Structure 1
């Protein structure tokens, strides 16, 4: 894991003045505590620092688990992505509900006959639709799906850290991994994988075992 200049400065100050609080670190760096909150979290998760309540931060070096976590955060999503569960835009809401249980997934991705990504729908979307006066066997998923233009997506070469930030920022449980396909008719997106909180939790569990 390559540290930023500010993260390097934080490590040097912790080595010199440990234990040191976040407030004192921010004062020495002449920035606000909020500015370095993310840096401190990354340095702690990566095994560089140890945080002690009511004491402050101390230098921990790079433990084996910290190195594993650093490598995890730098992994490209294509290396750990799961197979996406897709349904056709003409599929009924009933078929979509069945698919979520059979495939044990919270999110379905909607495609057309040419495999172009049209949108996505979640179990919550399906639940809300089933409560109303709707014929689940006749209404197509395209009616309730979130359109592709409004989806938050990942590129195959983005990192797990980037995926985690997007999931947290947008309050989502999964993100589609997409690629741009060029055809004579123009460009379109195809979904090639999915990264979910379940995927990330499983990876973190592996890192925890290393610790």
Structure 2
């Protein structure tokens, strides 16, 4: 993989100053940390840098072979996305909890009568609602996260882009929406699905080399 000029400069800065925080890297480049977020995510996900909590970035020196990188990161979300579980806005908390465990998922997607995404209900949302509300019959619309405050992705984006969003937002899944819309949901992509993809490809490469 060929890194950009800025990414190469970041690698040099980390080599010379490790461990170094993202803020200090940004300061040396006279840029803001959000500007570097995608660069740092890519360098971390490819194994070139290692991000250590409360310590900063260090240079790991690992690289990924170009063909393996192609298989792991540049595939489209559409290639590995999985079906989403939908519920209606008037679904009760009790019913939502049942669906969550029945389908063994981390999030439920709330849609309106037109099948458009209006909200998201995660395990954390349900746990919080159960702890604060004794009434399990209240509708999920009362406690769900609402649009437009839900981060989405389109199927034409790369797996690397999806992984970067999941890391930046510190969430477990992204609803995949039809390109050109922000609420016509056609599936989802999760941290677990991406990890499974990496493992599947790694097994293929290992089998090929044996």
TM-score for both structures, normalised by structure 2: 0.71
What is the CA distance between 1:110 and its match in structure 2?
0.1
What is the CA distance between 1:131 and its match in structure 2?
2.0
The CA deviation string for residues 7-54 of structure 1, in whole angstroms up to 9 with x for no partner, is: 67899x9xxxxxxx8218xxxxxx66x977556546546xxxxxxxxx
Structure 2 Cα separation of the partners of residues 90 and 40 of structure 1 = 44
**What is the aligned partner in structure 1 of residue 78 from structure 2?**
78
**What is the aligned partner in structure 1 of residue 183 from structure 2?**
189
What is the CA distance between 1:70 and its match in structure 2?
2.9
State the SS of the aligned residue for 1:172: coil
Output aligned runs, 1:20-31, within 5 Å: 22-23=15-16
C-alpha change, 1:130 and 1:106, in structure 2 (3 Å) is same
C-alpha change, 1:206 and 1:94, in structure 2 (3 Å) is same
**What is the aligned partner in structure 1 of residue 92 from structure 2?**
92
Higher-Rg member (1/2): 1
C-alpha change, 1:114 and 1:188, in structure 2 (3 Å) is farther
**What is the aligned partner in structure 2 of residue 150 from structure 1?**
149
Output aligned runs, 1:1-211, within 5 Å: 3-6=3-6, 22-23=15-16, 40-41=43-44, 44=47, 63=65, 67-136=67-136, 138-179=137-178, 189-209=183-203, 210-211=205-206
C-alpha change, 1:199 and 1:3, in structure 2 (3 Å) is same
Structure 1 Cα separation of the partners of residues 183 and 200 of structure 2 = 32
What is the CA distance between 1:68 and its match in structure 2?
2.1
Structure 1 Cα separation of the partners of residues 6 and 77 of structure 2 = 26
Across the aligned residues of Structure 1 and Structure 2, the Cα RMSD in angstroms comes to 3.5
TM-score for both structures, normalised by structure 1: 0.71
Structure 1 Cα separation of the partners of residues 186 and 142 of structure 2 = 23
What is the CA distance between 1:169 and its match in structure 2?
0.6
What is the CA distance between 1:132 and its match in structure 2?
3.0
Check the 8 A contact 1:116/1:188 in 2, yes or no: no
State the SS of the aligned residue for 1:189: coil
C-alpha change, 1:3 and 1:99, in structure 2 (3 Å) is same
Structure 2 Cα separation of the partners of residues 126 and 82 of structure 1 = 22
C-alpha change, 1:5 and 1:96, in structure 2 (3 Å) is same
**What is the aligned partner in structure 1 of residue 25 from structure 2?**
none
